[in-house]
Amino acid sequence: MTELTKGTWVLVADGKKALFLENVTDAQNPNLVVRRVEEQDNPPNREQQSDRPGRMPDPGPGQRSGLAEADWHRLEEARFAADAAEILYRLAHRGRFDRLVLVAPPRTLGELRAHLHKEVAARVVAEIGKDLTNHPGDKLEQVLLTELAKG
């Protein structure tokens, strides 16, 4: 079981919003204080596409194949996860936290994990694969306690 001890930081993120929180009390009654918020405007893919997918020639007379469309929304989510990982590295390098809990939907969690510097990865004490970015503070604290107790 992982505890949310005093000084533990929690990153709650999805593909467009990241909350950097710090527990300023004890593990039994956590009080998460927002230390930083990062947001980006990432509209749905259909609003980001401008053209239909390209085509390329195939071997054979007069044959052409369609290229797969880029999912711009998903690419932006991946870039946002990389940016959040970079922020965590700078914070860890400055000694702002020794323990970190990552909370994000599974796909975003995977992107974060892929971009974490080893200095940050060594401080990760728990990962929760859920989207909790829009939960109010007290509800977030309760969900974290429940998920970490399962742990």
Domain ranges of the chain: 9-42+70-150
CATH number of 9-42+70-150: 3.30.420.60
Q: What is the pTM of this model?
A: 0.80
Read off the pLDDT of residues 13-53 as tens digits, 9 standing for 90 and up: 998 899 999 999 998 899 999 999 999 765 565 555 555 65
Please give the pLDDT value at position 2.
Answer: 85
Alpha helices in the chain (DSSP H): 45-48, 72-93, 106-115, 118-121, 137-150
